A and B are shown apart, each in its own frame.
Chain A
Amino acid sequence: MNIPVGAFIAVSSVLFFIGVAGVLMRRNAVVILMCVELMLNAANLALVAFSRRGGSADERGSVFVVFIFVIAAAEVAVGLAIVLSSYRNRPTVDVDELHAMKG
C-alpha cells in the first residue's frame, strides 16, 4: 500500500494546529502540556514521513524522532514538576490565575 506523503503531512498539520489551539485556548496547565506533546508528535510524524519519502538508507529522520521522544519526556518531567510545585503553593492549575510574574 502506498500512501502519498501529502496525506501524512496533512495529518501532521492538523495535529500540530490542534496542539497550537489547545496551548492558546485551554487554561489547564496539564492540558497545555498535553497539547505541547501533541505538537511534538505532529513534528515526529512529519519527520518520519519525510524520512520514508527521502528513502535514505540510514533513517536520519527516524533518528531525529528518537531524540524528540527523549526531549519530550524530559520536557514533560520538568513541566509536570513545575505544575506540581506551583499547585502546592497555590491550589490551582489554571494558568490565567498564575500571573505573579506580571511586570
Chain B
Amino acid sequence: MIQNVWLIPALPLAAFLINGLLGRRWLKHATGWIATGAVAASAFIAIDVFLEVLGGHERTTVTLYRWIGVGDFNINVSALVDPLSSVMLLVVTVVGTLIFIFANGYMAHDHGFARFFTWFSLFVFAMLILVMADNYLLMFVGWEGVGLCSYLLIGFWFERPAPQHAANKAFWMNRIGDWGYTIGMITTFLVFGSMTYTDVFAKVGTVTQANLTLICIAFFVGAAGKSAQLPLHSWLPDAMEGPTPVSALIHAATMVTAGVYLVARSTPLFVAAGPALQVVAVVGAVTAIFAATIALVQMDIKRVMAYSTVSQLGYMFLALGVGAPVAAIFHLATHAFFKALLFLGSGSVIHGLGNEQDMRKMGGLRRKMPVTYWTMLIAGGALAALPPLAGFWSKDEILSGAFLSGQTALWAVGIVTAILTAFYVTRAMWMTFHGEPRDRHLYDHAHESPAVMTLPLVALAVGSATLGLLIGFPPDQGFIHSFLGPAVAVEGAAEHAPELSTLLGLAGVSVAAGIVGIVIGIAMYVRHRPDPAAVTRAAGPIYRLLVNKYYVDELYDHRVLEAARAFFGVLWAFDVHVIDGLANGIGRLAAAGGAGARRLQTGLVGNYALTVVVGLLVVLVAYGGYAAGVFKR
C-alpha cells in the first residue's frame, strides 16, 4: 500500500525516540537490534511501495497534514511517491539495513553503543524525509536533519580533538551549502509562488531565464556543499574520523548523494536554465579528476575511499550536467552498494587489525580475512568499472552520455579519471591484502570479523556484482531507464538514439581505461616496474602537491579564513560600538535623567507643601481663566 509510505520514516523515528530515551540506562546493547529491526521493517515497506510504483502508480502524493497555510502559500507534510523517490527510498533502507547489521558487530565494544544507534536511527529518518518530501521546504527539513546527524556522528568520538575538528569543519562547510539552498528555496517561492515540485515544474516556461539560472546555481551551491564538490569538498575526507559504518552509510551511500538527488529532482529547472547545467557538468568533471589524483597517494585506507567517493560523486554530477539524470541515479544506486561495501570492508580490516588504518602496515591480509578480501575485490572491480560488475554499467552510461552530448572534453576527463580510479583501487587492494605482511605483529593478531559483519559484506557484494546487469542491461534501454526515464524526462529534450557501434566503441574505451589503470597498478605494486618509491622521487613536487591535497586546506585556513576574519572584525566593531552603543546610550540617558530628577525630592515637608499650594494656585487660575472665557477660541 502506497498510503503506508509514512511508516517508512516513522519506524526509524520510533527507534530514535526509544533508543534516545531508554537506551543508555536500560536497553544498552538491545538498542542496536531495535534500530536495525526498525530500518529493516522500513526496507520491507519500501520494497512494497516500490512494487506499487512499478505496478502503475507513477505519481502519488500522500499528505500527512497541512504544515503551513498563509493565504495562497500552502506547505503540506506530504510525500511524493514516484519512481525517483521510490528508488531512493529503496537504496537508503536496503543499504541502510545492511550497514546497521554490520554496525552491531563493529560498534559492539564501544561505550557509546546506545548513543551511536540513536543518532544513526535519526539519520535514517531525516534522510527518508529528504527523499520523500514533495516540496523544497520539507526537503530542507531532512536536508538539515542529515547535516545534524552527520555532525554528531563524525564527532562521535568527541574525546579526541581530531573528530571534533572534523565535525566542526563538516558543519561549517555544509552551512555554506545550506545558505545556497536557502537562497534557491526563497527565490523559488518568490518567482513561482510555491515550493511544491509539481507546481514549480508546471510553471517553468513562464519564468525568465535569469531567475531560473539564479535558482539553479543557488541549489547547486547547496548540492555541492552536501555532496562535497569543489570547492566545498574538503570536509568529506576529514569526516572519516567518524566510525566506519557512519562513513559507509552517511558519507558514501546516502547523505552525500542528497545533492545529486536534489539536482536530479530539479531536472526540469536545470534543463530550462542552460548555463547552470553546464556549470554542474564542469564542476562534476573537475571534481572527479581532482579527487581521483589525491586518492592516488593517500596512505590511510579510509581516506582513499573518501577521495574516491568525492570523485564518484563528481561523475554523478557530470551525468546530470550532460543531461543524463537516469545515468546519475543509476550510478548513485550502484555506488551506494559498492562504496558502502568498500567502506565496510575497510572497517572490517580496521576492526581485525585493532584500529590500524595505515595501509603501509598492512599487506598479505587475504589469507587472514578471506571473506573481507573477496567481497572487497568485487567492490573494487565494480569501482574500477570492470564488466559485468555494477559499476561498469552505470559509469559507462555516464561516459557515453557525456560523449554523445558533444562534450568530448568532459568525456576525456572522465576516461582519465577512470584510469586513475582503477589504479588507486588496485593499489589499495594490493597494499592491504597482497604481498608480504609489512607489520608482523599486526598481521599475527589479525582475524576475520564475526558473521554479523561479514554477512552484510556478502549481501552488498551480491548487489555490487549483479545490480548493474539486473537493472541497467541493455545500456540506455535497461529497466532503470524505462522506470526512471518518465520521472526525470523533460519535454523537448532531444532523444538521442546512437548507433550500436558507437555505444560498443565507447564501452570498449571505458573498459580499456579500467584495464590500463589496473595494469599500471599491478606493474607498480606487484612487479615494482617502475618501483612506487622511484616514481615518488621522480615526481617530487607533484607528489608533494597531491599528498598535501593541493594545499586546499592551507588555502582555506590562510587566505579565506583571514579575509573572513577581517570582514567579521568590521562587523564585530559595528556591533560593539554602534549597536551596543545605542542600547547602552539609552540606558545611560535614563540613568542621567533619574539622577537629575532625584534632586526634586528634597525630603523637606515645606517644599512639598509649597509645591501643592503652587499647583493648587495654577489650577485655580487656569480654571478661573477658563470660566472667564480667556482660553476660548
Number of interface residues of B (CB under 8 A): 12
Nearest Cβ in chain A — how far from B610, in angstroms?
A: 6
Quick one: closest A residue to B594, CB to CB? A103
Which residues of A1-54 are within 8 A (CB) of B? 20, 23-24, 27, 29, 32
How far apart are the CA atoms of A23 and B605 in the complex, in Å? 9
Q: Confirm or deny: A58 has a beta carbon within 8 angstroms of a beta carbon on chain B.
A: no
Q: Are B603 and A99 in contact (CB under 8 A)?
A: yes
Q: Confirm or deny: A98 has a beta carbon within 8 angstroms of a beta carbon on chain B.
A: yes
Q: Confirm or deny: B606 has a beta carbon within 8 angstroms of a beta carbon on chain A.
A: yes
Q: Are B606 and A102 in contact (CB under 8 A)?
A: no
Nearest Cβ in chain A — how far from B513, in angstroms?
A: 91
Q: Confirm or deny: B68 has a beta carbon within 8 angstroms of a beta carbon on chain A.
A: no
Q: Which B residues lie within 8 Å of A24 (CB)? A: 606, 609-610, 613
Q: Confirm or deny: A70 has a beta carbon within 8 angstroms of a beta carbon on chain B.
A: no
Q: Are A101 and B606 in contact (CB under 8 A)?
A: no
Q: Are A99 and B609 in contact (CB under 8 A)?
A: no
Q: Are B605 and A102 in contact (CB under 8 A)?
A: no
Q: Are B609 and A102 in contact (CB under 8 A)?
A: no
Q: Which A residues lie within 8 Å of B610 (CB)? A: 24
Q: Are B609 and A101 in contact (CB under 8 A)?
A: no
Q: Confirm or deny: B633 has a beta carbon within 8 angstroms of a beta carbon on chain A.
A: no
Q: Are B613 and A102 in contact (CB under 8 A)?
A: no
Q: Which B residues lie within 8 Å of A100 (CB)? A: 603
Which residues of A41-98 are within 8 A (CB) of B? 95-96, 98
Which residues of B579-622 are within 8 A (CB) of A? 598-606, 609-610, 613
A32 with B605, Cβ < 8 A, contacts A103-B598, A103-B599, A103-B600 known = yes
Q: Which B residues lie within 8 Å of A20 (CB)? A: 613
Q: Which B residues lie within 8 Å of A99 (CB)? A: 602-604
Nearest Cβ in chain A — how far from B601, in angstroms?
A: 3
Q: Are A103 and B606 in contact (CB under 8 A)?
A: no
Nearest Cβ in chain B — how far from A70, in angstroms?
A: 22
Q: Which B residues lie within 8 Å of A95 (CB)? A: 604-606
Quick one: closest A residue to B598, CB to CB? A103
Quick one: closest B residue to A27, CB to CB? B606
Nearest Cβ in chain B — how far from A46, in angstroms?
A: 14
Quick one: closest A residue to B604, CB to CB? A99
Q: Which A residues lie within 8 Å of B606 (CB)? A: 24, 27, 95-96
Nearest Cβ in chain A — how far from B618, in angstroms?
A: 14
Q: Which A residues lie within 8 Å of B613 (CB)? A: 20, 23-24
Q: Are A96 and B604 in contact (CB under 8 A)?
A: yes
How far apart are the CA atoms of A29 and B606 in the complex, in Å? 10
Q: Which B residues lie within 8 Å of A102 (CB)? A: 601-604
Nearest Cβ in chain A — how far from B469, in angstroms?
A: 93
How far apart are the CA atoms of A85 and B560 in the complex, in Å? 76
Q: Are A98 and B599 in contact (CB under 8 A)?
A: no
How far apart are the CA atoms of A24 and B601 in the complex, in Å? 17
Quick one: closest B residue to A26, CB to CB? B606
Give the interface centre of A23, A27, A29 by most chain B CB atoms within 10 Å. Answer: A23
* Option from B598, B603, B604, B609 in Cβ contact (under 8 Å) with A23: B609
Nearest Cβ in chain A — how far from B603, in angstroms?
A: 3
How far apart are the CA atoms of A78 and B361 in the complex, in Å? 98
Nearest Cβ in chain B — how far from A78, in angstroms?
A: 15
Which residues of B269-289 are within 8 A (CB) of A? none
How far apart are the CA atoms of A95 and B605 in the complex, in Å? 6
How far apart are the CA atoms of A24 and B606 in the complex, in Å? 6
**Per-position contact with A for B305-323: 1 when CB-CB < 8 Å, else 0?**
0000000000000000000
Q: Which A residues lie within 8 Å of B601 (CB)? A: 101-103
Ranked nearest first, the 4 interchain pairs of A and B with the lowest CB-CB distance are A103-B601, A102-B603, A99-B603, A103-B598
Apart from A27-B606, A98-B605, what are 10 other A-B pairs with CB-CB below 8 Å?
Answer: A20-B613, A23-B609, A24-B609, A24-B613, A32-B605, A96-B606, A101-B601, A101-B603, A102-B603, A103-B601
Could you show 5 A-B contacts with beta carbons less than 8 Å apart? A24-B606, A99-B603, A100-B603, A101-B601, A103-B602
